Amino acid sequence: MELIKTLEELCNIGGISGDESAAAEYIISKIDGKCEWRLDPLGNVLAFKKGANKAPHKLMLSAHMDEVGMIVTYINSDGSLCFDTVGGIDIRILYGKRVFVGSGRIPGVIGAKALHLLSDSEKESCSLSDMTIDIGCRNADDALKLVSLGDSVVFDSQFTIFGNNRICSKAIDDRAGCAVMLALMDMPLKYDMQFAFVTQEEVGLRGAQAAAYSADPEFAIVLESTTASDIPCCADEKRVCSLGGGPVISYMDRRTIYDKELYAKAFETAKELGIPAQTKTLIAGGNDAGAISVSRGGVRTIALSLPCRYLHSPSCVIDIADLENTLKLTKKFAERIMEL
């Protein structure tokens, strides 16, 4: 299916925050000739697609192109690489993962001291300073032939469809939002709409801040991926949302209190379409809505998020039905906003 294929291609692109150009190029290759677009100074792709009717309201849809990853901070004399995380990665998921370093995609592994040689206190701690990236070089000079300080590091992760209609991949946050926007742009639209593929979400909602200023919308829909913790050993009240429960419509998260009328309208629209929808059961996380909603004199903003397990890891898991329902809801809900 086209939506899944686009998502796979998007997820396989390396693009940590501040280094999104490969993702942007892919997106441009998909929309060029179908709409007006431009690349702004922060690397945001700002597109405008005409609909059958002139838009009664200026509406912007937004999704971020960047993914969490790592960055090379030092090259040790033995040829191993020190690194830091870019975006909120749980460092406990790093040891033993395969990575690609830099634009040359040099393969490496994240190493640490062998289990059997750890002291009792080392066994109970986990810190970035305990880990290095091993690219199989014998010394710093050899390593410098392959990599440089500041090189981006992304997970080596296979896009996999598994179980009952589930997808496992890196970077679903938020290439899924980008895939939904690309799918919408391929459909005939009832009204004119603006689409912002933005950068640097994971390091402080920065691309969206500039994009919202430029687009100057009255309304915004942020398409995101949000933590689903519907797994064993997690109490019901902390599960946030569930896979298969449909798009997540939030009333509040750590960055935004959402527009009440839009919140109610989104649920009404889901009901009208006969698709499931859910809200977050925990005030957690945050997304570009935090920057967009306070742009200029204020923007009425809602976020439609895809429930995603193991967010910010090389193995994010989503449900395909949730992805399809997010696309359906977004399309209809955008029209409902125009009719407000």
Partner 1 sequence: MNTADIEKTLAMLCAADGVSGAEDGISRLLSEYLADSGDTASDAKGNVICRLGGFDESKKTLLLCAHIDEIGFIVNYITDDGFLKVSPCGGIDRRVLPASRVTVLADGGKNRIKGVFTSVPPHLQSKAHSPAPIDELFVDIGLDGTHSKKAVNLGDRALIEAPLMRIGSLVSSKALDNRICAAALLETADLLNGKQTAYNVVLLFSAGEEVGSFGAKTAGYSIGADISIAVDVTFGKSHSESEKQTGALGSGAMIGISPVLSRTLSQTLMNIAKTEKIPYGIEVMPQRTGTDADALSVVKGGSIAATVSLPIRYMHTPVETADISDIENTAKLLAAFAERGGV
Beta bridge partners of 152: 71
**Among 33, 115, 119, 274, which residue interacts with partner 1 (rule: CB under 8 A)?**
115
Nearer to partner 1, 56 or 136 (CB): 136
What pairs with residue 222 in β-bridges?
62, 303
Radius of gyration in angstroms for the set of CA atoms belonging to the chain, rounded to a whole number: 21
Sheet containing 36-39: give its strands across.
36-39, 45-49, 193-198, 59-64, 219-227, 300-308, 248-249
The helix-helix angle for 21-31 and 2-12 (nearest 10°) equals 150
Nearest distance in Å: CB 162, partner 1: 4
**Interface region with partner 1, contact rule CB under 8 A, candidates 44-52, 63-71, 105-113, 191-199:** 105-113
Query: Do the beta carbons of residue 166 and residue 243 sit within 8 Å?
Result: yes
What x-and-dash track marks residues 41-80 binding partner 1 by CB under 8 A? Answer: -----------------------------------x-xxx
Question: Which of 124, 41, 108 lies closest to 69 in space, CA to CA?
Answer: 108
* 201 catalytic per annotation: yes
284 is an interface residue for partner 1 by CB under 8 A: yes
How far, in Å, CA of 41 to CA of 326, rounded? 30
Stretch that binds partner 1, among 36-44, 51-59, 128-136, 196-204 (CB under 8 A): 128-136
Residue with Cβ nearer partner 1 (38 or 113): 113
Among 41, 188, 233, 236, binds partner 1 (CB under 8 A): 233
Residues 6+ away with beta carbon under 8 Å from 327: 3, 180, 183, 184
Task: Say how many C-beta atoms besides its own lie within 10 A of residue 268's C-beta.
Answer: 13
Q: Give the range of 19-27, 32-40, 120-128, 332-340 binding partner 1 by CB under 8 A.
A: 120-128
- Per-residue binding string, partner 1, 145-174, x by CB under 8 A, is -x-----------x-x-xxxxx-x------
Q: Annotated catalytic residue: which of 67, 201, 202, 224?
A: 201
SS3 234: coil
| Beta bridge pairs of residue 133 | 81, 110
For the bound state, the minimum distance from the C-beta of residue 287 to partner 1, rounded and expressed in Å, comes to 14
| 311 binds partner 1 per the rule CB under 8 A | yes
Least distance CB 247 / partner 1 (angstroms): 19
Q: Does 104 bind partner 1 (CB under 8 A)?
A: no
Spatial contact of 327 and 3, defined as CB atoms under 8 Å apart: yes
Q: What is the smallest separation between the CB atom of 74 and partner 1, expressed in angstroms?
A: 11
Q: For the chain, give me the number of helices (H) and strands (E)?
A: 9, 16
DSSP code, position 238: G
**Interacting positions 246-265 with partner 1 (CB under 8 A):** none
Binding positions for partner 1, rule: CB under 8 A: 76, 78-80, 88, 90, 92-93, 95-98, 107-117, 123-127, 130-132, 134-138, 142, 146, 158, 160, 162-166, 168, 227, 229-234, 238, 284-285, 309-315, 317
Looking at the annotation, which residues are catalytic? 201
